[in-house]
A and B are shown apart, each in its own frame.
Chain A
């Protein structure tokens, strides 16, 4: 396997606070949150009633009729984001060899809304009323399949299911495929399960905020943190072999310079050290020292114990309060695999524009978290390298370093 560089040449964002990259980025810089009462269904009797919904998406405006009966909402959002990313990259896929381009996506929940509807059909009407498309529409890997078919991406195809960490694991895997010979990978994640079945599934984590005040419901690293809010959306990226991108004169957002994943033991009481190891290995992989990282996009669970573990891991690697840390994901809600992919896109936009978005609604970092949390206003800074951190339920940790293209 080579050590070819992989660069990001296209971004496709679909977020509750922005239906494309620039709208989302503007909202993030303005600190504009989309967290609000759930409208997709009557959530008034559920303990969690807030979410970050993508409200401006009309499926039939973006998705071919042939695909509507066979796709869950999150697949439609995936197709939309992948379309945007490919258009942004301006690549001519037809000019590539047949198996040179592939798809590596991540999904945390799969197609719950579709699945719930078909389960309701099964139990209330009978098996004859279950859609034949249920066979794949609910499935975690379906986004990779549908994106691949739509764009004729017949190279490597894979799907990762490691919760929020998956949004980085998918991109790390895409780089691996490029090093094994692929020219281009469409990669990232989109999640969305804001239906009763999906919400009930998410409730089992015990990590969702039950606040009914959108401004108070998702306060990572705050002394008032009481959990996160679910959201839907994410991002797809076009990752390209650097030399190929250069040859076609592509605009480059940055390089995926480092990536690592680790796994923590289960709930047996063993100290969780995996996050720190993942960060150190990602830095090593990028061949950078901690002091060369200009900003960290945090996992930011807003669960006090998890915030503490993350803050301590960051302080162990970088020193206490030695690097700016931010979590603009509290403007979208936690997007699971989609969240980490979106953080990668956000990090690349930070590099592009020389600005670190703030973590809105948080007035101050809790004093016992030894990190420099960016609150109040965005910070202007020359950003050459950014670290993105993600954790998934069940012990998954991932870290990625992106840097300005040389």
Chain B
């Protein structure tokens, strides 16, 4: 199924999921001091020539952070971008370390759940074929 053929984004459903963890997301986004000290704890960041895109904080700010700030009002293209972040740039190994105690894996998992609710998932078959 191509992106164009998919139905519109169900904003209410996204909001419903966001509301379940609203406080956690809000506190995490507010606590993040944007210090970038979490970067070195991500093995993908270190394997990909220290590319900032792989920093744990960059990943959660641009996935669940975007969804939270836009109150779920995202386009399918934006959700596809979030899918790239939460599946291709994170394997949920849960080894990321935030000096301020932010539970980054749970936030990425929440973003994945929201993507799944909108049928935006990582296509492993397509990935295999390249």
A binds B: no
